[in-house]
């Protein structure tokens, strides 16, 4: 089996290149899809310059919508999701996310930052199930309804599905890695408001009691 990487990206021209660079040298990765989620900056151009596939959504669908579009276009059986704003992504991180699924040691891996930056380490220590770095067979994603409408609730929904269906979940440490926080991208007030909206989108999609 081989891997399609799906990268949802909303205005990530500054960081996307750093995510794409380590992917190019991994033979098991045969398809890389950047889904620009209604970006108004140079995200699409950066992706094209790197020679990867681009889905250029004319309007913002939210993260779940962008990820779903990527899954629909995926040729391979295994999907690796990565955020477009990762800092310090290395080939080793990518291998540690994909090999357990490729080798059938896990049904899903979830990457957790470790030793990158205190703020992002702590956030992921508290809530690893929110992580956008995860690898899973496409078959499972196709069994989950409504991912496209879940916006930031998408990871919680995938995790919930995985628990309910007894998938083997493996948490994988991602040493010295971090991402750019909302407040850093958008400024404190706008970033914090965006963060509250994200928590609302997550809460809305949690199904209580199965
Ligand atoms: O409407 C959106 C919001 C976010 N993203 C992408 O989803 C990933 C995670 O989003 P963000 O960095 O805002 O979340 P954080 O990691 O700060 O929670 C990034 O690649 C974003 O560009 C997206 O495709 N559509
Ligand atoms: O870890 C978290 O609390 C949030 C917010 O991260 P930051 O506070 O911006 O570092 O980030 C994650 O959660 C989102 C919802 O599940 C995911 O879509 C992001 O990929 C993930 O980084």
Indicate whether 210 belongs to any domain.
no
Q: How many domains, the chain?
A: 1
Backbone angles phi and psi of 117, in degrees to 5:
-130, 145
The overall longest dimension of the chain from CA atoms, in Å, is 46
- Separation of first and last alpha carbons in the chain: 32
Instruction: Give pLDDT tens digits for 69-124.
Output: 999 999 999 999 999 999 999 999 999 999 999 999 999 999 999 988 888 888 88
Which residue among 6, 9, 35 has the greatest number of ligand 1 atoms within 8 angstroms of its CB, and so is best to mutate?
A: 9
Q: How far apart are CA 5 and CA 141, in angstroms?
A: 14
Instruction: Give pLDDT tens digits for 32-81.
Output: 999 999 999 999 999 999 999 999 999 999 999 999 999 999 999 999 99
Q: How far apart are CA 136 and CA 109, in angstroms?
A: 7
CATH number of the domain that 124 lies in?
Answer: 3.90.550.10
Nearest CA owner, ligand 2 atom 20: 132
Q: How confident is the model at residue 209 (pLDDT cuts 50, 70, 90)?
A: low
Any residues with CB less than 8 A from the CB of 69 and at least 6 apart, and which? 35, 55, 57, 61, 148
Indicate whether 59 belongs to any domain.
yes
Residues contacting ligand 1 via CB (< 6 Å): 8-10, 12, 37, 60, 62-63, 66, 83-85, 132, 179, 181-182
Q: How far apart are CA 29 and CA 156, in angstroms?
A: 25
- Find the domain containing 123 and state its range: 3-205
Residue with tokens 């950066």: 46
Indicate whether 150 belongs to any domain.
yes
Ligand 1 center from residue 99 Cα (angstroms): 25
Ligand 2 center from residue 118 Cα (angstroms): 14
Q: Which atom of ligand 2 is nearest to the CA of 119?
A: 10
């Amino acid at each position: 089996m081989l891997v399609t990487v799906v990268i949802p990206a909303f205005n990530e021209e500054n960081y996307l290149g750093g995510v794409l660079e380590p992917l190019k040298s991994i033979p098991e990765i045969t398809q890389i899809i950047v889904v620009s989620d209604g970006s108004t900056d140079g995200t699409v151009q950066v992706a094209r310059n790197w020679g990867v596939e681009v889905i250029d959504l004319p309007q913002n669908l939210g993260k779940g919508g962008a990820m779903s579009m990527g899954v629909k276009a995926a040729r391979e059986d295994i999907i690796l999701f990565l955020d477009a704003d990762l800092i310090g992504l290395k080939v080793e991180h990518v291998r540690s996310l994909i090999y357990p699924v490729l080798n059938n040691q896990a049904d899903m891996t979830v990457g957790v930052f470790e030793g990158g930056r205190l703020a992002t380490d702590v956030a992921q220590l508290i809530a690893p199930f929110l992580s956008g770095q995860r690898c899973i067979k496409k078959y499972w994603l196709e069994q989950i309804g409504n991912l496209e409408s879940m916006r930031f609730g998408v990871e919680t929904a995938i995790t919930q599905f995985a628990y309910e269906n007894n998938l083997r979940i493996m948490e994988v440490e991602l040493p010295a890695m971090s991402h750019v926080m909302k407040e850093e991208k958008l400024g404190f007030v706008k970033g914090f408001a965006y963060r509250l909206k994200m928590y609302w989108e997550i809460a809305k999609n949690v199904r209580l009691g199965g």
